[in-house]
A and B are shown apart, each in its own frame.
Chain A
C-alpha cells in the first residue's frame, strides 16, 4: 500500500510539467471511437492533428461520455491534468462545457455542434450537414423505386431537422411522388435500436435508408435486405458494398489543426464557425457504381453549385408542414433560422416530435 502510494505521488510529479511547447489537447466523445461513424470522424481528425504536430501536441481521449454530470467530471479532470484545449464532440455537452469553461478560464474549449456560448473561452463549430443532405436527397429521390425513403433520426435538434428537410426538399424536387418515413431513436449510438429501425422502415416499403445516427447497423441491415442506404459521418462502404450509395464524410482535421495552431500562436479566440462544402469540412464518400453516371454528374454539379455559393439548399418558395409560408420565392434561409429550425417543411407527412 505504502509502496503504491509513493509510486502514485512520484509518477504524478513526473507526469505534470511536460515540455512547455507541448500543447495538451483533450477530446471527449459521446460514442466509442470504433463506431465507424461520427466519433470515428472526430478521432480521425485527432490522429491527423497528432501527425501534423508530432511531439508538439499530446492528445488524450475519453469515449462513451454521457451528457451531464459525467461530461462535467471528465472535462474538469482534463483541465486539472493540464490540458490546454478541450474538444467536446457532441451537441448535448453544451451546459457542461459552459459550466467547466467558467471555472477554467485558461483552457480553450471547442464545442462541436454546440449552441451555448456564455464564456469567451468557448468556440462553437459545426458543419453545414444540410448541404450534404441535399445531395443525398437528390440521389435518393432518383434511385428509389418504391418512392419511399426511410430516415433514422436521432434527436429532434436543428442539425437533424434541417437535414431531414433538406433531404426531403431535394428528393421531392426530382421525384414528386417521394414519401419520407422517419423513426426517432433518441440516441446517437445504439446499433440494436438502429438495426430495428432500419428493418421496420424496410418493412414499410423503404428501399433507401438514410440515417442521422452513428453506427453502421442500418447499412448492414440494408445490405442484407438488398436495399440501398447512405452512411453517416464516415465512409461506411465496407459494411454494405452493394447497399452503400455514399455518405457525408466529416473532415474536421483542417479546422482542428488551425485551432491548435492559433492556440500555439496566441491568437486563439472564441468563434462561432459554421462550415460546409466550401471549406472542405464535409465531402461525399465515393459514389457507388450502381448510381448511374448521369446522376453522379448531377450530384457533382449540385456540390459544385453549393460550394460556389451559387445555390443554397433552402431557397424559397418553401412552406412549413402546416402550409404556412416560410420562405418566399427566391428567398434564402438565414443562418439564424437554420440554427434553430424546429419544424418540418410542407410535404413531410410524419409528425414533428414534441
Chain B
C-alpha cells in the first residue's frame, strides 16, 4: 500500500526539479486539451514554446517582445519575492505599479513639451517613489495598527485603478484629443520616451533595471545581513526576534523595496511600450508577477527563468490563436495548468511517497 511520509527536510532536488517537471506535465496535459479541441497538439505546443524564439517568420520580432513582456514581470517579482521570504505578503503590486506609472507620467506631462536630459531620470525617481509611497500605506497600517497587509495592499489596487481612471479622464487627459480618455503619447515626447537602447532588440531601460534588480536581490539575499534577517524572519520568527530582527522595520523594508520596484516597472511601461496613461493601462502585471515569484521559487535567478517562461506563453499563446485558431480561453487554461502542476508537485518536496508491503492498519 501507499503511505505518505513527511520529509525531515524539504527535498532540495524536487524544489529545483518541480518547475521543469511542471512545464513538461503542462505540455502533456495541454497537448491533450488541444487535441480534444481538434487541433494538432504538436503544432500547438511548438507555436507556444518554440516559434516565438525560433520561427523564421516571427522570431526576429518576438524575441525582443519577450524581453518587453517579461521585464516588468521580473522586476516586480524580484521585489515581491524578498517580502514573501520574510512572510510579508504584498498582494497589491498591481496598485504600486499603477501609482508608479502615474507619478512617472505626471513628471513627464508637467514638463511637456520642454526638452531636457534630466526629465527621464526624474521620472525614474518619481516612479520608484510613487510605488514606494503606495506600499507604505499597508506597511504603516500593519506596523502601527496591526492590520493585515494582504487585504490592505489588495484593496488598494482597486483604489489605484480608480485614481488611474480619474487621471486618464481628467488631469492627465490629452487636451488635443477631445472626447477621448487617455494622456498624451509619451513615446512622442522625446525627453520622456523610454525608447529601445538599441533598435529592434527590445532592450529598454526597464529591462536593464530588471537585470540590475535581479543581481542586487541575489547579492542581498545571499551576502547581506538584510537577506539573513529576511530568511530568518520567514523560517523562524521567534528566533529572528532573539537575533535582533525588528519585525516592524522588516515589514517596512520589504514592502518598500517591492513597492519601489513595482513603481519602476509601471513607470518604464507607461513611458515605453504602454505609451500613455489609459484607463485600462494596468493589464495585470502586478498579479502575474506573484505567479512568477513562486514559479521562480522566490529565487532571483529562478524568477528570471519564470518571467521568460510566462512571457513566452503569452506571446506564443497569441501565435497559437492567430495561426491555429486556438480559443483564447484554452491559452488561459494552459497557463493556469502550469501553476496548478507546480503546486501539486510541490507536495513531494515536503512528503515522500512510500510503497510499503504487507502493512495493515
Chain A contacts to B: CB under 8 angstroms = 4-5, 7-9, 11-13, 15-16, 26, 32-34, 60-70, 72-74, 76-78, 80-81, 91-92, 94-95, 115-116, 155-158, 161, 186-187, 339-342, 353-354
Give CA–CA (A158, B179) in the complex, Å. Answer: 6
Contacts of A95 in B (CB 8 A): 185, 275-276
In the complex, the answer to whether A157 meets B61 with C-beta atoms within 8 Å is no
Contacts of B170 in A (CB 8 A): 354
Checking A13, A72, A353 against B169 with a beta-carbon cut-off of 8 angstroms, the contacting residue is: A353
In the complex, the answer to whether B51 meets A8 with C-beta atoms within 8 Å is yes
Checking B169, B280, B319, B321 against A66 with a beta-carbon cut-off of 8 angstroms, the contacting residue is: B280
The 7 closest A-B pairs by CB, nearest first: A69-B273, A63-B328, A340-B179, A158-B179, A62-B321, A342-B179, A66-B283
Any A CB within 8 A of the CB of B160: no
In the complex, the answer to whether A68 meets B275 with C-beta atoms within 8 Å is yes
- Which residue on A lies nearest to B68, using beta carbons? A69
In the complex, the answer to whether A8 meets B178 with C-beta atoms within 8 Å is no
From known contacts A76-B61, A80-B61, A157-B179, infer whether A15 and B323 are also in contact, taking CB-CB under 8 Å: yes
Minimum Cβ distance to chain B for residue A60 (Å):
5
Contacts of A187 in B (CB 8 A): 280
Q: Mark B33-63, 1 if CB is under 8 A from A, else 0.
A: 0000000001100100011001111100110
Minimum Cβ distance to chain A for residue B105 (Å):
13
Minimum Cβ distance to chain B for residue A344 (Å):
13
In the complex, the answer to whether B321 meets A68 with C-beta atoms within 8 Å is no
Q: List 7 A-B contacts (CB under 8 A).
A: A7-B42, A8-B55, A65-B318, A68-B278, A72-B273, A92-B182, A186-B165
Contacts of A8 in B (CB 8 A): 46, 50-51, 54-55
From known contacts A69-B68, A73-B65, A158-B180, infer whether A61 and B325 are also in contact, taking CB-CB under 8 Å: yes
Checking A13, A64, A156, A157 against B328 with a beta-carbon cut-off of 8 angstroms, the contacting residue is: A64
Chain B: interface residue total (CB-CB under 8 A): 47
Checking A61, A78, A92 against B280 with a beta-carbon cut-off of 8 angstroms, the contacting residue is: A92
In the complex, the answer to whether A11 meets B321 with C-beta atoms within 8 Å is no
Any A CB within 8 A of the CB of B104: no
Any A CB within 8 A of the CB of B294: no
Checking B173, B178, B279, B321 against A186 with a beta-carbon cut-off of 8 angstroms, the contacting residue is: B279
In the complex, chain B residues 126-153 whose Cβ is within 8 Å of any chain A Cβ: none
In the complex, the answer to whether B322 meets A81 with C-beta atoms within 8 Å is yes
From known contacts A8-B46, A158-B179, infer whether A77 and B62 are also in contact, taking CB-CB under 8 Å: yes
Contacts of B269 in A (CB 8 A): 69
Give CA–CA (A341, B179) in the complex, Å. Answer: 6
In the complex, the answer to whether A62 meets B318 with C-beta atoms within 8 Å is yes
Give CA–CA (A104, B275) in the complex, Å. Answer: 20
In the complex, the answer to whether B54 meets A73 with C-beta atoms within 8 Å is no
Minimum Cβ distance to chain A for residue B333 (Å):
13
Give CA–CA (A92, B50) in the complex, Å. Answer: 31
In the complex, the answer to whether A68 meets B281 with C-beta atoms within 8 Å is yes
Any A CB within 8 A of the CB of B181: yes
